[in-house]
Amino acid sequence: MTSGVIPLPSALGRRVDDFARTLMRQPPGYHVDFLRPVGEPALLPPASLSWRIFKNPVTVFIGGVAAVLLELAEPRVRDAVWQHSGFRTDALSRLRRTGAAAMVTVYGPRSKAEAMIAGVVRMHGRIRGRTSEGEAYDANDPELLDWVQATAGFGFMQAYHCYARPLRAEERDTSLAECRPIALLYGAAGAPGSQADLYTLFEARRHRLAASPIVLEFLDIMAKVPALPASVRSLQLPLLKAAIDILPLWVRERLGLGDRWNLRPQARAVVASMAGICERIVLPSSPAVQSCRRLGLADDFLYRRH
């Protein structure tokens, strides 16, 4: 193995690390120490593809937005999220809770990750209602859980593939298969374990996906909420467009996300450059690096070229 790390002057390195820390900041009242307990393994091993994919804060942001758009395309998931979360009133905290949950799931000590997932399952048990169209929903419905897990698997994998490093077909299968045991903890027994499974599920749900003003409201909130440091806030809209750009074309058309949301070639190059830089710069404050330290691995373990 050789190191793919780009050495940076200390001042610039701190700025990049601050940028990543802002993207992955844990919300108030939500704190997991990725450095401890020393030696405690995560749900996934450090050699997994997931550990490499989730280390990149740019593609995690893009993939997370793409996953939410796919979730909101399913009316039952859409209204379960919109009617039972604080997204409208405190979007930033809601985003950070979602991002923190992803980091804990992949990198956190197993005991903390399992406890967090159990808490999410209990919370889902209290979420029931009816969509604006009058259809009943239950957040622990296995069909909806499978969809949420599929959208997350697709979003993070596709963002990494498109903007950080192209993944071979077998790596894409691996990425989905690795997360199947975690999906089972959430109750998603039918979550896809391969690309073929993923595309089959997408095709089976095609008839259920629908446009909604909520999708556009979500994007409007995301364009305005201060998710990035002020010095790079101008990049927030291109990152949103990058998320829309990786959606299947038929999903984008179904949701009515037209030319306004096109990612221009120059902006695509900027996004890819950002993702590429974060792929080759060790971010000491990131959950990925801190979890490597917890397990006695070198800071650049996930940045080495195999």
Domains of the chain by residue range:
2-305
The answer for residues whose C-beta is within 8 angstroms of residue 73's C-beta and 6 or more apart is 209, 210, 215, 251, 254, 255
What's the rounded Cα separation, in Å, for the pair 160 and 163?
A: 5
Percent of the chain with pLDDT over 70: 90
Q: In terms of Cα–Cα distance, which of 68, 244, 222, 64 is closest to 156?
A: 64
Looking at residue 277, what is its pLDDT? 86
Rounded distance, CA 235 to CA 232, Å? 6
Q: What values do phi and psi take at 257, rounded to 5?
A: -95, 85
pLDDT per residue as tens digits for the range 171-201: 999 999 999 999 999 999 999 999 999 999 9
Cα–Cα distance, 94 to 64 (Å, whole number) = 12
302 or 284, higher pLDDT: 302
Q: Which two tokens stand for residue 139?
A: 């957040």
Q: Which of 86, 47, 94, 81 is nearest to 227 (CA)?
A: 94
Task: For residue 54, name the pLDDT band (cuts at 50, 70, 90).
Answer: very high
What is the helix (H) or strand (E) element at residue 64, kind and residue range? helix 57-72
Name residue, tokens 């209990």.
122
Position 229 scores a pLDDT of 78
Please state whether the predicted TM-score (pTM) of the whole model is above 0.75.
yes
With beta carbons less than 8 A apart as the criterion, state whether 106 and 44 touch: yes
3-state SS, residue 200 = helix
Supply φ then ψ for residue 232, to 5 degrees: -125, 20
